């Protein structure tokens, strides 16, 4: 029998393209082949993830020291597991939670499963699915809503935008609310010239997808917790959603990464920051950078529509023709994840690709409508309701029973329980699940 997936992975690697997508190690040979020989399980001397009191607990303590927090919990189920556990820890019966509308679908899944009542807050970006959260808007909601247990935001966004975590954390604590940050794309922020990690800036918890920007195998993540009081039941919260068979090679890669970052992190990520800043300068002269405000120093988001390069297929085709795999193209923007494990050749290719983009007239596509749809059911009830699949063209007026979003970036166009309107339809997939 053929091995189609394995064969395709081998074929793709043989193309020799420069990887500006996850994982952060870029298949650069950071790990030796011994990791493949360490696919073990819970044994008397290998510890157990959810009851960690041996070597896994020691690794978690090293991670907490590295990130400057009270506790760090390993996730071999990606940042999605860390996000779900974080929301479980912060949820309180009878209390609501402010949640940014650009939350990843894993957070919405947790909202559904935990029965959390969300109070939505929109990011400031014109698209509605990306942008920074305004501290003033957070305070406005906290003044009005008196039963909020926590505020949950995404920073950095998929496009690299950074919210003012320090200001938001001060506001949250003024109103006795926790600040939770989906920091999936920002694990490296602790190792730059300015420490921009959410925990350092006052967040109470952050979910960090190590594999995205640090040298860790895919699905390796951490839940970082600033206060030991919040960590008391954190393991049970994680075990509620996580597999009972976590990957030991993934966990071992986190262990290796922590040791490496402790010794080398500031140096290698600082050097990478300078390289990326130089490439961004080239992009700026071409008119390709339009994300105003503070952004992730290691993420490059090119607005190719500003020079007439539009359409996802055209974007991908252009960069692939120059030997580059992007992290993500949305038809207007092309996103590149840069780490120290990109080679000089990788960065030279990216610079050349930016320099060679032909300049034509700008083209802008319509964005999803920025409004809060009518809610008919709670997220919990909508997800658990009887549903049917229909053509999106026929969905106007129906109640969505699913989180409808492309991945990447994994941000919903419409939430479960909301009424689909005609303005949504151009941005939906061909078919959608609705409540019967």
Digit-coded pLDDT (tens) for 103-126? 998 999 999 999 999 999 999 876
Nearest to 266 by CA among 371, 365, 193: 193
Residue 195: its pLDDT value, please? 98
Digit-coded pLDDT (tens) for 312-342? 999 999 999 999 999 999 889 999 999 999 9
Residue 11: its pLDDT value, please? 95
DSSP-based helix, strand, coil % in the chain, nearest 5? 40, 15, 45
* Average pLDDT, rounded, for the chain: 93
Digit-coded pLDDT (tens) for 368-424? 556 788 999 999 999 999 999 999 999 999 999 988 876 556 577 889 999 999 888
How many angstroms separate the CA atoms of 71 and 61, rounded? 7
Residue 87: its pLDDT value, please? 98
pTM for this predicted structure: 0.94
Q: How confident is the model at residue 362 (pLDDT cuts 50, 70, 90)?
A: confident
Residue 129: its pLDDT value, please? 64
Residue 291: its pLDDT value, please? 77
Token couple for 337: 């994840």
How many angstroms separate the CA atoms of 203 and 152, rounded? 10
Digit-coded pLDDT (tens) for 126-182? 665 688 999 999 999 999 998 999 999 999 999 999 999 999 999 999 999 999 999
Digit-coded pLDDT (tens) for 208-219? 999 999 999 999
Q: What angle do CA 97, 98, 103 make, to 5 degrees?
A: 105
Q: What is the DSSP letter of 413?
A: S
> For 75, phi and psi rounded to 5 degrees?
-125, 125
User: Is there a contact between 412 and 371 (Cβ–Cβ < 8 Å)?
Assistant: no
Widest Cα–Cα separation across the chain: 65
Nearest to 224 by CA among 236, 210, 206: 206
How many angstroms separate the CA atoms of 192 and 252, rounded? 24
How many angstroms separate the CA atoms of 136 and 281, rounded? 32
- For 362, other C-beta atoms within 10 Å of its C-beta total 15
């Amino acid at each position: 029998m053929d091995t189609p997936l394995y064969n395709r992975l081998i074929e793709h690697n043989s193309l020799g393209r420069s990887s500006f997508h996850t994982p952060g190690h870029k298949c650069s040979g950071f790990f030796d082949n011994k990791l493949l020989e360490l696919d073990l399980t819970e044994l008397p001397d290998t510890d157990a993830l959810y009851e960690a009191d041996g070597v896994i607990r020691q690794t978690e303590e090293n991670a907490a020291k590295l990130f400057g927090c009270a506790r760090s919990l390993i996730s071999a189920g990606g940042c999605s597991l860390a996000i779900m556990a974080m929301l479980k820890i912060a949820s309180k019966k009878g209390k609501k939670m402010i949640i940014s509308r650009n939350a990843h679908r894993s957070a919405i899944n947790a909202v559904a499963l935990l029965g959390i009542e969300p109070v939505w807050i929109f990011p400031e970006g014109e698209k509605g699915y990306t942008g920074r959260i305004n501290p003033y808007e957070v305070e406005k909601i906290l003044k009005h809503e008196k039963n909020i247990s926590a505020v949950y935001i995404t920073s950095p966004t998929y496009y690299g935008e950074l919210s003012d975590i320090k200001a938001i954390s001060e506001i949250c604590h003024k109103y006795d609310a926790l600040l939770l940050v989906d920091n999936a794309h920002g694990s490296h922020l602790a190792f730059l010239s300015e420490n921009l990690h959410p925990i350092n800036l006052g967040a109470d918890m952050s979910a960090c997808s190590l594999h995205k920007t640090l040298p860790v195998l895919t699905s390796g993540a951490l839940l970082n917790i600033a206060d030991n009081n919040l960590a008391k039941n954190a393991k049970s919260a994680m075990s509620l959603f996580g597999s009972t068979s976590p990957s030991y090679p993934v966990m071992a890669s986190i262990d290796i990464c922590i040791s490496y970052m402790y010794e080398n992190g500031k140096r290698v990520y600082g050097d990478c920051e300078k390289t990326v800043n130089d490439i961004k300068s080239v992009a700026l002269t071409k008119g390709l950078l339009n994300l105003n405000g503070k952004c992730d120093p290691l993420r490059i988001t090119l607005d190719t529509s500003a020079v007439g390069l539009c359409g996802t297929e055209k974007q991908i085709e252009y960069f692939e023709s120059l030997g580059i795999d992007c992290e993500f193209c949305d038809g207007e923007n092309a996103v590149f994840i840069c780490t120290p494990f990109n080679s000089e050749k990788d960065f030279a290719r990216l610079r050349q690709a930016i320099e060679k983009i032909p300049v034509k007239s700008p083209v802008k596509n319509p964005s999803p409508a920025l409004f809060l749809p009518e809610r008919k059911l709670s997220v919990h009830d909508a997800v658990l309701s009887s549903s049917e699949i229909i053509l999106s063209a026929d969905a106007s007026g129906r109640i969505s029973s699913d989180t409808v979003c492309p991945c990447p970036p994994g941000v919903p166009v419409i939430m479960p329980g909301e009424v689909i309107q005609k303005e949504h339809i151009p941005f939906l997939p061909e078919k959608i699940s609705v409540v019967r």
